[in-house]
Amino acid sequence: MKLSWRKFGIGLGGALTLLAVTGSKAFAQEEGPSSAELAVAIDTMFLLIAGALVFFMQAGFAMLTAGLTQAKNTTNILFKNLMDFVMCSIAFWAVGWGLAYGDSAGGFIGTSQFFLTSAGGDGVPVYVSWFFQVVFAGTAATIVAGAMAERTKFTAYLVYSFIITLFIYPVVVHWVWSGAGWLNTYSGSTDGNWGFTDFAGSTVVHSVGGWAALMGAIILGPRLGRFGSDGKPKSIPGHSMALAALGTFILWLGWFGFNPGSQLAISSQGNADAVALVIVTTNLAAAAGGLGALFTAWFRSGKPDLGQTMNGVLGGLVAITAGCAYVNPISAILIGFLAGPLVVFGAEWLEKAKIDDPVGAVPVHLINGAWGTIAVGLFASAPGNTGTLGLFFGGGATLLMAQVVGIIAIGAWTALLAGAMFLAIKATIGLRVSKEEELSGLDVGEHGSVAYPDFVPGTASVPAAD
Amino acid sequence: MKLSWRKFGIGLGGALTLLAVTGSKAFAQEEGPSSAELAVAIDTMFLLIAGALVFFMQAGFAMLTAGLTQAKNTTNILFKNLMDFVMCSIAFWAVGWGLAYGDSAGGFIGTSQFFLTSAGGDGVPVYVSWFFQVVFAGTAATIVAGAMAERTKFTAYLVYSFIITLFIYPVVVHWVWSGAGWLNTYSGSTDGNWGFTDFAGSTVVHSVGGWAALMGAIILGPRLGRFGSDGKPKSIPGHSMALAALGTFILWLGWFGFNPGSQLAISSQGNADAVALVIVTTNLAAAAGGLGALFTAWFRSGKPDLGQTMNGVLGGLVAITAGCAYVNPISAILIGFLAGPLVVFGAEWLEKAKIDDPVGAVPVHLINGAWGTIAVGLFASAPGNTGTLGLFFGGGATLLMAQVVGIIAIGAWTALLAGAMFLAIKATIGLRVSKEEELSGLDVGEHGSVAYPDFVPGTASVPAAD
Amino acid sequence: MKLSWRKFGIGLGGALTLLAVTGSKAFAQEEGPSSAELAVAIDTMFLLIAGALVFFMQAGFAMLTAGLTQAKNTTNILFKNLMDFVMCSIAFWAVGWGLAYGDSAGGFIGTSQFFLTSAGGDGVPVYVSWFFQVVFAGTAATIVAGAMAERTKFTAYLVYSFIITLFIYPVVVHWVWSGAGWLNTYSGSTDGNWGFTDFAGSTVVHSVGGWAALMGAIILGPRLGRFGSDGKPKSIPGHSMALAALGTFILWLGWFGFNPGSQLAISSQGNADAVALVIVTTNLAAAAGGLGALFTAWFRSGKPDLGQTMNGVLGGLVAITAGCAYVNPISAILIGFLAGPLVVFGAEWLEKAKIDDPVGAVPVHLINGAWGTIAVGLFASAPGNTGTLGLFFGGGATLLMAQVVGIIAIGAWTALLAGAMFLAIKATIGLRVSKEEELSGLDVGEHGSVAYPDFVPGTASVPAAD
């Protein structure tokens, strides 16, 4: 077959290309690779595809955030979303991965594997594991863009996105997912296998992003005009529901990599069963979250609201992320459904506190991240893949306590560090653009251009193209 | 390797996480999972990825439908598309799956497996099969949104989308794909393995959606201004060809999950060969459909028309869906190419009948769904994977007759039930918005907002943001 | 399980469907397919998914190109992007694949396997290999659309896109990837396994597209108003940064199919290791390219520029494509980072030469395609999968020389043929639209419609909908 020839052609005479050719020929001879090698191949492909889906969530966040903010700031917000993953890729390669998965210093921080210099031996390649992890780091980072949108300096945002993926987020990963972290052995259980439970990152990824988003939004202060002189909130509508809806669909799709991929393997009956459960609970929680937000917002405002419903879907997805492998489908629907009102009321609470979160990142990621993590302590029902049960399934409060401790510890760490970082940025290079720039739009002020030059602007503050 | 530690860390002490770790270690010891387990893993991953691609078609339909309709109705149509899959997920979990794949009552309807309470034993997990099926149900449901766009009440649409995925569509699936349905054993063949043949759903999915779309469009009546007082049709152009083109590309991509995934397995040489054939026939029919519509519309109007060409691509994809595993590449090109004129002339026929289908859903999904199903009876040529041949390949009219019977039976079922449902909705909560609301746009009327507040409206009926 | 029933139901009694059912039952009996069959299944799925991701790059190019050009030409540019893959699918099925991978005539051109009439025997199916190749052909073709945007006749573009995928591109593939081509055995090495090295197509795909783009842009001449009467360049901003950013993210995603998939197999430890390396180097080069362009453009203009940064990301991806399997992560960052300034300065060089490339296709694809190919000769460091080393890793200039020869040969072939083709088109059906049509927009002139009829135009040249 020509295709094995292709590798033969482009190869440099190395062992690998010969292996590929030999492998191809072997197919016809009914002598294939070993079962262990096939398992490695399957799991490598699984992480590659799941990671690619999670990467695509960057596009989802970019479209959602751009759609829910004003046309005059579109280039700026897209730029920040793009730079999130650019900075993250470099920071997580150089330092972040090592802090997360390097040899542990007292369960607090990793201390080796910087700059990805060791590629490991047989088994699922370290490189593909890095890829699957870097897209999670990028997710945590990009959550913040929406809450700080329409008023944050571009340079300040670059510094932030580098630091969160270099240090703040990786340390949390080490605590929970490294196998040596203090949080996942917190309770003193003798087998070291009990503790804080967050399957795919309701807290580790989403609440970390959400806490940073909250601190950023507080330290920045609200957008001009967001609260009237009488303190009354005034809605600033986003400029394209089409982009926002596209972003929501892309994020929902990406979650089919985010959660199932977090099983990290599929090459056994047990892994395949777990992955299949995860995809069902993930999808049902998303749908139920949409319903919950739809009904809540409809009841409160008298109209069905697309923005709230989309955030309900996303809130349901965030909430199921911690427990998707541990709960049954009915529990998933309950967890997701409650995410809906949390999104709606969460946004109202923020408004009352005069905190301006243009896209609802805090209700979706922080509040529902916490809710989903607590829900594990309530609904974990061991459908074949967990030993400790939640409160509602006869497990007592042990797991629930561990969840609360983890939420508090990770929240305190992230809020303190992110807060200190944003204050330091504010005191040095500055965190917020000038009043004039905010009014005329960050696209003109920061980048000297506009996102939609061919369209007559709908607000006086969006200038025509030069 | 740290990554196996991660599962160790987040696990709750369950058997599965231990399995994962043991599995990882075993790789190095050259003792992997059994061949049967690996096949389960491969097929599970196959259904997961194919299902995710089909899910993404929801975004494709949303973008296509929004792009081909007016800016003043964008939020509304996106909202309906989002709710399609929300309602479908809940309805197909609670009831739809059981009606489709539960124990058969006389070949007409399934009667067990409601609420997904049984997860099954070894083998490809039931949960991943449910996921692959629910995204098909969502596809059938969302087809209708376009044909009923710009005038249907939001609440009416919610009811519709719940009922079609709860009952109308699942029964058709039971008839054809459950293995116990009356349609796939229709002909009285003794081995019970001859009958109506629809590989991935030209009729089961697309024509069901298309029939419901047709009934909805008829019962609703045309949009205001669509036909002049003299009865002459007047084109109402869509507001964004960029969104429409994006939707088309996403749908084309999604079909690479829709059709290949419908083989349901890839873990043998025969399955891999079938999947590979399917992807080639699918892609060629899409391209040929685009060409067929391009030439037809160009010849009739004197200009190459992007909208018609995109619908030709989609028509080619719908048409090949029934036979993609049974025909050779040249037949696929013929089937796809003829889908092009069917899209163009189908739209003209609808216009003559004064039926208003804003996006061409009926020509694309109903007419080409029927054409593709008949084409199996003509072109099935057993390229390794089918026993019964089409008329043009020496098979006589037996298969062709089965196809016609299936098309009529499923068409009658869907048209009757969907018609009754829309009439019942009309008589109770109402199917169509008020004249005033239609003129000012459903975004303002139904949702109190607009999709693009920052842009000056191009039609007087699109209001500026508050 | 019902799902095996489904195939039973829809099958036509063929061997394959029986196999599928038998296979499913066998899972429970712990007797699965052979290891060789599983390897075929894994590699088939790998090519299917990677190919689907590369297909999706068509959407990425469409969004990027539409976003970076004017609203009055949006329908036209989307149409051309869609037709690229339509024409490519037919041309590469009928002739292109045979010229690329058919029996070699003297290492210059393939001479068999036209019309995909042979499906091959056991092993990875030829059909899935065709699919993986046709999406590469489509990529080469669609690169040209951007450089020739806003002034090329639609019919002329159809002819071009048919010819490049029918003949120009496939011959280059034969030279390099067929295993029998003169270029990959150029140096006279006795084992026939040394030579021009382009893993996934920096030169074979991207520079071929880039050379055709350059010739087209030169022969067309610049857009009206692009250079003032005094010769000074005048920027013509694109109409939607949102579409452009979406396109960039989609392309980045697609590259996770493009490069890893080019290993063509994953079903062994060596293949899995290679794929994992490729995904890391690909991602790091993309990020570094973004940084490189960001800093360069920022330094030169005083403002961070989103368009340049996006092109930097794409340039980094193009540059790593040739060497992604042969270089280590640090080298990947260097290669990608240098792609950034090449994008920025390349665009300046084109401007000085009065060549109008509206989207920067030539700097991204041609210049960085060449740079990436040369970089293999500098940085190839045999991280487990290559025998010959680059100049900086002790390999001497042998490989570097081969790279230069390949770049020149392929560049000369493509520039000559594409140039002759565009001149022939110009002399016959005409290459460029009329001055009036260009000013009023190609959407109205070529297609009699506009892309955004509901929005008031921002330039006098965009008419309102009829």
**CA gap A196, A373 in Å, rounded:** 9
Please check whether residue A357 is in contact with residue A217, taking contact to mean a CB–CB distance below 8 angstroms: yes
Q: In degrees rounded to 5, what are phi and psi of residue C152? A: -90, 135
Tokens of residue B326, six digits: 């049974």
Which chains have at least 3 CB atom pairs separated by less than 8 Å from chain B? A, C
C237–A81: do the CB atoms touch at under 8 Å? no
Contacts of C307 in chain A (CB under 8 A): 449
Contacts of B101 in chain C (CB under 8 A): 2-3, 5-6
**CA gap A358, A221 in Å, rounded:** 12
**Locus of tokens 């994977």:** B385
Residue C30, classified by CB atoms within 10 Å of its CB into exposed (0-12), middle (13-18) or buried (19+), is exposed
pLDDT band (50, 70, 90) for residue A1? very low
pLDDT at C34 over 60: yes
Contacts of C205 in chain A (CB under 8 A): none
Do residue A263 and residue A206 come from a single domain? yes
User: B276: closest CA among B322, B325, B314?
Assistant: B325
Within-domain flag for C251: yes
- The string of pLDDT tens digits covering residues A232-285 is 999 999 999 999 999 999 999 999 999 999 999 999 999 999 999 999 999 999
Within-domain flag for C21: no
Within-domain flag for A457: no
**CA gap C282, A174 in Å, rounded:** 26
Within-domain flag for B30: no
**CA gap C372, C357 in Å, rounded:** 21
Do residue A398 and residue A254 come from a single domain? yes
- Average pLDDT of the residues in C77-94: 98
Nearest residue in C to A153, CA atom: C304
Number of domains within chain A:
2
- pLDDT score, position B25: 32
Which of A262-276 are b and which e, b meaning 16 or more Cβ less than 10 Å from the residue's Cβ?
bbbbbbbbbbbbbbb
Residue B351, classified by CB atoms within 10 Å of its CB into exposed (0-12), middle (13-18) or buried (19+), is middle
Task: Please report how many Cα atoms fall inside a 13 Å half-sphere around the Cα of residue C190, on the Cβ side.
Answer: 0
DSSP letter string over C363-378?
IIIIIHHHHHHHHHHH
Cβ count within 10 A of residue B336: 33
pLDDT band (50, 70, 90) for residue A118? confident
Interface test with C, best of A4, A6, A69, A161 (most C CBs within 10 A): A6
**CA gap C172, C207 in Å, rounded:** 11
First to last CA, chain C: 57
Identify any residues that bridge with A457 across adjacent strands, giving them in sequence order. Answer: B455
- The string of pLDDT tens digits covering residues C216-230 is 999 999 999 999 999
Q: What is the CATH number of the domain that holds C62?
A: 1.10.3430.10
C38–B38: do the CB atoms touch at under 8 Å? yes
**CA gap A221, A231 in Å, rounded:** 13
A447–C305: do the CB atoms touch at under 8 Å? yes
- The string of pLDDT tens digits covering residues A376-399 is 999 998 664 455 789 998 888 889
Three-state DSSP state, B455: strand
Backbone φ/ψ region at B396: left (φ over 0), alpha (ψ -120 to 50), beta: left
Tokens of residue B329, six digits: 């590449």
Residue B29, classified by CB atoms within 10 Å of its CB into exposed (0-12), middle (13-18) or buried (19+), is exposed
Tokens of residue B392, six digits: 């043009």
**CA gap B344, C284 in Å, rounded:** 47
Interface test with C, best of B283, B295, B317 (most C CBs within 10 A): B283
User: What is each CA distance from A88 to A81, A164, A364, in whole angstroms?
Assistant: 11, 8, 22
Interface test with A, best of C69, C128, C273, C305 (most A CBs within 10 A): C273
pLDDT at A18 over 80: no
Residue B219, classified by CB atoms within 10 Å of its CB into exposed (0-12), middle (13-18) or buried (19+), is middle
Which of B358-386 are b and which e, b meaning 16 or more Cβ less than 10 Å from the residue's Cβ?
bbbbbbbbbbbbbbbbbbbbbbbbbbebb
**CA gap A346, C156 in Å, rounded:** 56
Nearest residue in C to B454, CA atom: C455
Q: How close C98 gets to chain A, by Cα (Å)?
A: 11
- Give residues with Cβ within 8 angstroms of B429, minimum separation 6: B153, B155, B156, B159
**Of A35, A304, A329, Cβ closest to residue B33:** A35
- Average pLDDT of the residues in C196-209: 96
Contacts of B284 in chain C (CB under 8 A): 89-90, 93
Tokens of residue A438, six digits: 């905010």
Q: How close A154 gets to chain B, by Cα (Å)?
A: 23
Do residue A146 and residue A162 come from a single domain? yes
- The string of pLDDT tens digits covering residues C333-369 is 999 999 999 999 999 999 999 999 999 999 999 999 9
- Give residues with Cβ within 8 angstroms of A94, minimum separation 6: A114, A115, A166
Cβ count within 10 A of residue A299: 10
- The string of pLDDT tens digits covering residues A101-117 is 999 999 999 999 999 98
Q: What is the pLDDT along chain B (466 residues), one digit of tens a residue?
A: 233 333 333 332 333 333 333 333 333 344 679 999 999 999 999 999 999 999 999 999 999 999 999 999 999 999 999 999 999 999 999 999 999 999 999 999 999 999 998 767 899 999 999 999 999 999 999 999 999 999 999 999 999 999 999 999 999 999 999 988 998 854 444 444 458 999 999 999 999 999 999 999 999 999 999 999 998 999 999 999 999 999 999 999 999 999 999 999 999 999 999 999 999 999 999 999 999 999 999 999 999 999 999 999 999 999 999 999 999 999 999 999 999 999 999 999 999 999 999 999 999 999 999 999 999 999 998 764 555 789 998 888 889 999 999 999 999 999 999 999 999 999 999 999 999 999 999 999 999 999 999 885 544 333 333 3
Tokens of residue A390, six digits: 């939640």
pLDDT band (50, 70, 90) for residue A456? low
C452–B197: do the CB atoms touch at under 8 Å? no
Identity of the residue numbered C135: V
**CA gap A69, A459 in Å, rounded:** 13
Contacts of A310 in chain B (CB under 8 A): 82
**CA gap A17, A23 in Å, rounded:** 10
Do residue A75 and residue A155 come from a single domain? yes
- pLDDT score, position A119: 66
Three-state DSSP state, A71: helix
Q: How close B391 gets to chain A, by Cα (Å)?
A: 33
Nearest residue in C to B198, CA atom: C10
Do residue A15 and residue A48 come from a single domain? no
Tokens of residue C61, six digits: 């190019």
Angle made by CA atoms A55, A60, A66, in degrees to the nearest 5: 135
Instruction: Say how far residue B354 (Cα) sits from the centre of its chain.
Output: 25
Number of helical H runs and strand E runs in chain C: 18, 2
Please check whether residue A185 is in contact with residue A400, taking contact to mean a CB–CB distance below 8 angstroms: no
Do residue A43 and residue A188 come from a single domain? yes
Nearest residue in C to B45, CA atom: C45
Do residue A253 and residue A302 come from a single domain? yes
Listed by number, the residues of chain C in 232-291 with a beta carbon closer than 8 Å to a beta carbon of chain A are 237-242, 245-246, 248-250, 252-253, 256-257, 260, 263-277, 279-280, 283-284, 286-288, 290-291
**CA gap C299, B163 in Å, rounded:** 60
H or E segment to which residue B110 belongs:
strand B109-110
Do residue A340 and residue A380 come from a single domain? yes
**Of A10, A23, A79, Cβ closest to residue C304:** A79
**CA gap C257, C260 in Å, rounded:** 6
Do residue A431 and residue A417 come from a single domain? yes
A23–C237: do the CB atoms touch at under 8 Å? no
Interface test with B, best of A3, A34, A35, A440 (most B CBs within 10 A): A35
Q: Which alpha helices (H) appear in B164-226, and where do they start and end?
A: 169-177, 208-220
Question: Does A120 contact B at CB distance below 8 Å?
Answer: yes
Contacts of A90 in chain C (CB under 8 A): 284, 287-288, 291, 333
Within-domain flag for C239: yes
pLDDT band (50, 70, 90) for residue C119? low
Within-domain flag for B50: yes
- pLDDT score, position A100: 97
Identity of the residue numbered A226: R
Listed by number, the residues of chain B in 18-77 with a beta carbon closer than 8 Å to a beta carbon of chain A are 19-20, 23-24, 26-35, 37-38, 40-42, 44-45, 48-49, 51-52, 55-56, 58-59, 62-63, 66, 74-75
Which chains have at least 3 CB atom pairs separated by less than 8 Å from chain C? A, B
What residues make up the domain containing C332? 40-447
Three-state DSSP state, C209: helix
pLDDT at A458 over 60: no
Contacts of A39 in chain B (CB under 8 A): 23, 26-27, 32-33, 38, 41
Nearest residue in A to C270, CA atom: A16
Instruction: Say how far residue A294 (Cα) sits from the centre of its chain.
Output: 23
User: A99: closest CA among A190, A169, A184?
Assistant: A169
Helix, strand, coil in percent for chain A, rounding step 5: 70, 0, 30
Nearest residue in C to B389, CA atom: C12
**Locus of tokens 């000074």:** C232
- The string of pLDDT tens digits covering residues A172-191 is 999 999 988 998 854 444 44
**CA gap A312, A290 in Å, rounded:** 4
pLDDT band (50, 70, 90) for residue C121? confident
Listed by number, the residues of chain B in 158-197 with a beta carbon closer than 8 Å to a beta carbon of chain C are 176-181, 184, 191, 193-194, 197
**CA gap C399, C391 in Å, rounded:** 8
Q: How close C98 gets to chain B, by Cα (Å)?
A: 15
Instruction: Say how far residue C364 (Cα) sits from the centre of its chain.
Output: 11
B12–A240: do the CB atoms touch at under 8 Å? no
Sign of the torsion formed by the C-alpha atoms of A58, A64, A67 and A70: negative
**CA gap C321, A10 in Å, rounded:** 12
User: What is each CA distance from C417 to C142, C163, C214, in whole angstroms?
Assistant: 17, 10, 12
**Of B10, B447, B452, Cβ closest to residue A197:** B10
User: C143: closest CA among C222, C201, C196?
Assistant: C201
How, if at all, do strands A104-105 and C109-110 pair?
unpaired
Tokens of residue A271, six digits: 């892994």
Please check whether residue C287 is in contact with residue A162, taking contact to mean a CB–CB distance below 8 angstroms: no
Angle made by CA atoms A296, A301, A303, in degrees to the nearest 5: 90
Q: How close A429 gets to chain B, by Cα (Å)?
A: 31
Nearest residue in A to B35, CA atom: A35
Please check whether residue C81 is in contact with residue C73, taking contact to mean a CB–CB distance below 8 angstroms: no
B275–C128: do the CB atoms touch at under 8 Å? yes
Within-domain flag for A458: no
Do residue A292 and residue A424 come from a single domain? yes
Within-domain flag for B150: yes
Cβ count within 10 A of residue B167: 16
